[in-house]
Amino acid sequence: MWFNTPEELEKFREELLSGRDPEKPCISICAGAGCLASGASEVIAAFKSEIETQTLEAAVDIKGTGCPGFCERGPVVVIYPEEICYLQVTPNDVAEIVSQTIKEKRVVERLLYVDSITGEKAIHEYDIPFYQNQERNVICNNIKIDSKRIDDYLAIGGYSALAKVLSRMSSEEVIEEVKKSSLRGRGGAGFPTGKKWEGSRNDPEKTKYVIVNADEGDPGAFMDRALLEGNPHSILEGLIIGGYAIGAREGYIYVRQEYPLAVVNINLAIRQAEEYGLLGENILGSGFDFVVRVHQGAGAFVCGESTALMTALEGRVGEPRPKYVRSNIKGLWDKPTVLNNVETWANIPLIINKGADWFTQIGTEGSKGTKIFSLVGKITNTGLVEIPMGLSLKDIIYKIGGGIPGGKKFKAVQTGGPSGGCIPGDQLDLKVGFDELARAGSMMGSGGMIVMDEDTCMVDVARYFIHFLTDESCGKCLPCREGLRQMDKILTNITEGKGKEGDIELLEVLSETAMEASLCALGKSAPNPFLSTLLYFRDEYEAHIREKRCPALYCKELINYYIDPEKCTACMICFTKCPDKAIDGAKKMIHIIDQEKCTNCGTCFEVCPSKFGAVEKISGKVVPESIPEEERMIVKPA
Amino acid sequence: MDNKRIDQIIDKHRGEASSLIQILLDIQSENHWLPKEALGRVSEKLEVPLSRTMHIASFYKAFSLVPKGRHAVHICMGTACHVRGAKRILETVEELTGLKPGETDVEMKYSLETVNCLGCCALGPVIEINGKAHGKVSVSDTSGVLEHYK
């Protein structure tokens, strides 16, 4: 198949749709990373063999799809055309789903979503509160298409934006539309996309490049991965449009090798697009030539920084370079280069098809459109959520995320990845947007949103991020390479009870230096996790330093485990599980922890049945004296 | 890994010096580590100084300059896993195997590594062994998980 004109593409699409029976049952199983880890491939295999056994191959379609976002309840299965959504499906449920839902058109009640408060069941995806409060424009197609089949993408209108651009729009008009949409880069910095494109387009240099930054390195963020794996053609379509707009004939996709499935799917998508004539020479008869190459990252967080990424593409060590001249003028091989994040590219076909006016209806004054966040940590519904800009953090965490599990209290939400900051409970009414988050001392970043509860120690969180960045610093600038290492040391000392007066001030000085004197954004923003936790949780730092106390009872060196003799029933569970044999006890004999032998591993705390809750954590206080031997025997009242 | 296979990989990337990282990634994925001889061969064929090849091989985390054990044990230290207690899991694995991250035991059984986010945060804390994710692991589960891999 080769489309010579946009009309041929449209004709093929019509044939494709007329050949498809919308009433034909289709079983869509999420084959994204989260669901695969929960056993989705076994579920897919079970469906295939069950359909074969029942000789239903001709009557039913089975699809392994991209991630719809509800990872918490994976593997997720959606049955079309009714759009019945089953959660936490195992291979044992497959026979029942086929016999009941596929053959008898009956719903298997026990696999539906149950609202934890009202007890009501939700049959469809769109009835589940997790989805109801989202606005899913970019990620919504993930569950509808088999990401390995270009025809599925064409069937939902794929490549129509490219056809429109090539047949009816000049490059100026494309850039004008993107500028009008006020789309800002989804990778973190939020630079206006249209402006970036315009700069490259107007440069007289003949050779230009466009790049997809798919080096998603923020720990706890996997939005880009879901798009790359689930809907690679949408990114590719955006990239080709971008190439046309700025006058580039070559595009690169820089994807981290830690995402093997994404690498496979994006390579496959490129091959399929080439076979259809949507990539290559004279695309759709327009005279526009464009090729795309995939380059795998080799595991370096700093390569997510645009100039470091370009250096890596050139086959060298990924160190950032100065941006005296922006990379849209002098980028890859010193040529004008437009680099955008995965989600930014995936928004382009939508803007072209639906128009900038549609796009600007969504969002706030400074931030238009929707944004995908990965909502993780101490949250009931872990997963990917796409929300209109301007939704409050409270709505995201409580309405969509379902709040904090285990009846715990919310403490903070960390946004923006390692360069971002923590936002405390009293600011939860904050509306999500580039400028709003920056004003609160954090940042949008690429979309990680990590929820923390009362058990999370904020000093440890700062130490965690600074340690991560120390490890990932490329080593080029001294304040980042050496300064962060010192910050890591001081913060580690504080969490280990070795903090001293003056540490906070020293950390502040080191922060200031790193912010002033580092070359790239990684170094300049590295102190953010420390500064934002200090701003909102200074009392925790002071408790660690002055009282040698960890208020969250997290820091291992500052806590002791203690068995409350009033609550201990001498059940022997902690006694047998303790890896260090530090618990003394016997049947009917109240257990005691030998503090000398105890390594604070926390096993006893974890295994003590919640109905007893006899094991306690103590911090900043002396462990109470053990009860006298003669009182240790538990005598049942007669 | 013999020179013939290395040459094939280099040819696949059209022998371009800009493909150095991609070539090393291919060798790493087939051989699980980068022997000194392989680095020498690549440098020679691409006409790139060995020092630059070494710079790359030691800078990027995907490359290993030492042989790896039979089972690749990856402890996810992503933020979501961290707040759910990944540090305790790592400490337990360190204690059980006697290894620190980056090390391989003398019997070449386990290679322990920490990784920054595997993208299955709903399951945190996660231990990934030979590509298979074990989710919602507790300190007391850890030895059971490792025992699956002899």
CB contact under 8 A, A298 and B84: no
Give the number of beta-carbon pairs within 8 Å between A and B.
Answer: 137
Mark whether B88 and B114 lie in a shared domain: yes
Report the alpha-carbon distance of residue A593 to residue A599 in Å, rounded: 11
> What is the arithmetic mean of pLDDT over A292-305?
92
Instruction: Please choose, from the candidates A16, A26, A90, the residue with its C-alpha nearest in 3D space to the C-alpha of residue A64.
Output: A26
pLDDT bracket for residue B119 (50, 70, 90): confident
Q: Is the pLDDT of residue A86 over 60?
A: yes
Report the alpha-carbon distance of residue A441 to residue A590 in Å, rounded: 50
- Whether A473 and A481 have beta carbons less than 8 Å apart is answered as yes
pLDDT score at A257? 87
Report the alpha-carbon distance of residue A442 to residue A445 in Å, rounded: 9
Taking a contact as any Cβ pair under 8 Å apart, which residues of chain A between 606 and 625 contact chain B? 606-607
Query: Which of B121, B123, B130 is the mutation pick for testing A, counting most A CBs within 10 A?
Result: B121
Say what percent of chain A tops pLDDT 90: 84
CB contact under 8 A, A220 and B123: no
pLDDT score at A260? 87
Show the tokens assigned to A186. Answer: 């989804």
Report the alpha-carbon distance of residue A606 to residue A384 in Å, rounded: 29
Report the alpha-carbon distance of residue A438 to residue A453 in Å, rounded: 22
Q: Is A382 on the interface with B (CB under 8 A)?
A: yes
* Domain containing residue A75: CATH number: 3.40.30.10
Q: Is the pLDDT of residue A78 over 60?
A: yes
Q: Looking at this protein, which amino acid is placed at residue B36?
A: K
CB contacts, 8 Å: A250 with chain B? none
> Shortest CB distance from A315 goes to which of B17, B77, B91?
B17
The C-alpha of A310 sits at a distance from chain B's nearest C-alpha, in angstroms, of 11
Q: Is the pLDDT of residue A374 over 90?
A: yes
Most confident of A229-243, A618-632, B110-124: A229-243
Structural element, H or E, at residue B81: helix B79-83
> Shortest CB distance from B120 goes to which of A34, A314, A378?
A34
Distances in whole angstroms, Cα of residue A550 to Cα of each of A502, A517, A531, A539, A618: 18, 33, 19, 10, 9
Mark whether A165 and A270 lie in a shared domain: yes
Taking a contact as any Cβ pair under 8 Å apart, which residues of chain A between 316 and 355 contact chain B? 316-318
Peptide bond into A579 cis (omega under 30): no
Mark whether A330 and A434 lie in a shared domain: no
Length of chain B: 150
pLDDT score at A638? 56
Cα angle A46, A48, A49 (rounded to 5 degrees) comes to: 65
* Domain containing residue A188: CATH number: 3.40.50.11540
Note whether residue B48 is domain-resident: yes
- Whether A144 and A158 have beta carbons less than 8 Å apart is answered as no
Q: Compute the half-sphere exposure of residue A182: CA atoms within 13 Å on the CB side of its CA.
A: 16
Last residue of a domain, one of A426, A453, A480: A453
Q: Is the pLDDT of residue A636 over 80?
A: no
Give the total number of structural domains in chain B.
2
Residue A409 CB: number of other CB atoms within 10 A? Answer: 9
Please give the radius of gyration of chain A, using alpha carbons only, rounded to the nearest integer. Answer: 28
pLDDT bracket for residue A445 (50, 70, 90): confident
Residue A614 CB: number of other CB atoms within 10 A? Answer: 22
Report the alpha-carbon distance of residue B26 to residue B9 in Å, rounded: 7
Q: Is A604 on the interface with B (CB under 8 A)?
A: no
CB contact under 8 A, B119 and A383: no
Q: Is A450 on the interface with B (CB under 8 A)?
A: yes
The C-alpha of A508 sits at a distance from chain B's nearest C-alpha, in angstroms, of 23
The C-alpha of A354 sits at a distance from chain B's nearest C-alpha, in angstroms, of 31
CB contacts, 8 Å: A383 with chain B? 122
Q: Is A374 on the interface with B (CB under 8 A)?
A: yes
Alpha helices in A496-527 (DSSP H): 503-517, 521-525
Q: Which residue of A has its CA nearest to B118?
A: A258
- Whether A355 and A174 have beta carbons less than 8 Å apart is answered as no
The C-alpha of B45 sits at a distance from chain A's nearest C-alpha, in angstroms, of 15
Mark whether A439 and A317 lie in a shared domain: no
Give A37 or A28, the one with higher predicted confidence: A28
Q: Is the pLDDT of residue A76 over 70?
A: yes
First to last CA, chain A: 88
CB contacts, 8 Å: B91 with chain A? 601
| Mean pLDDT for all residues in chain A | 94
Q: Kindly report the backbone phi and psi dihedral angles of residue A402, in degrees, each rounded to the nearest multiple of 5, phi listed first.
A: 75, 15
Length of chain A: 638
Note whether residue B64 is domain-resident: no
pLDDT bracket for residue A109 (50, 70, 90): very high
Mark whether B89 and B130 lie in a shared domain: yes
Q: Looking at this protein, which amino acid is placed at residue A408?
A: K
Mark whether B55 and B75 lie in a shared domain: no
Domain that holds residue B48: 3-59
Show the tokens assigned to A571. Answer: 């059940």
Give the total number of structural domains in chain A.
5
Report the alpha-carbon distance of residue B106 to residue A628 in Å, rounded: 48
Q: Is A71 on the interface with B (CB under 8 A)?
A: yes
pLDDT score at A637? 64
Mark whether A348 and A428 lie in a shared domain: no
> What is the arithmetic mean of pLDDT over B85-104?
92
Taking a contact as any Cβ pair under 8 Å apart, which residues of chain A between 202 and 231 contact chain B? 217-222, 225
CB contacts, 8 Å: B78 with chain A? 219-220
Report the alpha-carbon distance of residue B2 to residue A179 in Å, rounded: 54
The C-alpha of A603 sits at a distance from chain B's nearest C-alpha, in angstroms, of 6
Mark whether A212 and A350 lie in a shared domain: yes
> Shortest CB distance from B116 goes to which of A219, A297, A602?
A219
Residue A321 CB: number of other CB atoms within 10 A? Answer: 17
Q: Is B139 on the interface with A (CB under 8 A)?
A: yes
Structural element, H or E, at residue A63: strand A61-65
Residues 6+ apart with CB under 8 A from A421: A414, A415, A440, A441, A442, A443, A528, A529, A531, A532, A533
The C-alpha of A446 sits at a distance from chain B's nearest C-alpha, in angstroms, of 14
Q: Is A314 on the interface with B (CB under 8 A)?
A: yes
Q: Is the pLDDT of residue B99 over 60?
A: yes
> What is the arithmetic mean of pLDDT over A544-548?
96
CB contact under 8 A, A316 and B119: no
- Whether A370 and A389 have beta carbons less than 8 Å apart is answered as yes
Name residue, tokens 């990989």: B9
* Domain containing residue A622: CATH number: 3.30.70.20
Domain that holds residue A607: 556-631
User: Where does A435-566 show beta strands of DSSP type E?
Assistant: 448-453, 559-563
pLDDT score at A473? 93
Residues 6+ apart with CB under 8 A from A65: A28, A29, A30, A31, A32, A142, A143, A144, A145, A146, A147, A230
The C-alpha of B40 sits at a distance from chain A's nearest C-alpha, in angstroms, of 17
Instruction: Please choose, from the candidates A21, A368, A328, the residue with its C-alpha nearest in 3D space to the C-alpha of residue A184.
Output: A368
CB contacts, 8 Å: A464 with chain B? 79, 82
Mark whether A224 and A355 lie in a shared domain: yes
Structural element, H or E, at residue A616: strand A615-619
CB contacts, 8 Å: B123 with chain A? 34, 37-38, 71
pLDDT score at A159? 97
Mark whether A62 and A97 lie in a shared domain: yes
Last residue of a domain, one of B37, B59, B81: B59
- Identify the weakest region by mean pLDDT among A60-64, A365-369, B12-16: B12-16
> Shortest CB distance from A601 goes to which of B20, B82, B92?
B92
A250-256, strands of its sheet edge to edge:
A291-297, A250-256, A209-214, A337-341
Mark whether A70 and A197 lie in a shared domain: no
Mark whether B54 and B94 lie in a shared domain: no
Note whether residue A214 is domain-resident: yes
- pLDDT tens digits, A260-295: 889 999 999 999 999 999 999 999 999 999 999 999
Mark whether B135 and B75 lie in a shared domain: yes
| Mean pLDDT for all residues in chain B | 91
> What is the arithmetic mean of pLDDT over B50-72?
93
Q: Is A448 on the interface with B (CB under 8 A)?
A: yes
* Domain containing residue A430: CATH number: 3.10.20.600
The C-alpha of A24 sits at a distance from chain B's nearest C-alpha, in angstroms, of 32
> What is the arithmetic mean of pLDDT over A183-210?
95
Q: Looking at this protein, which amino acid is placed at residue A146?
A: D
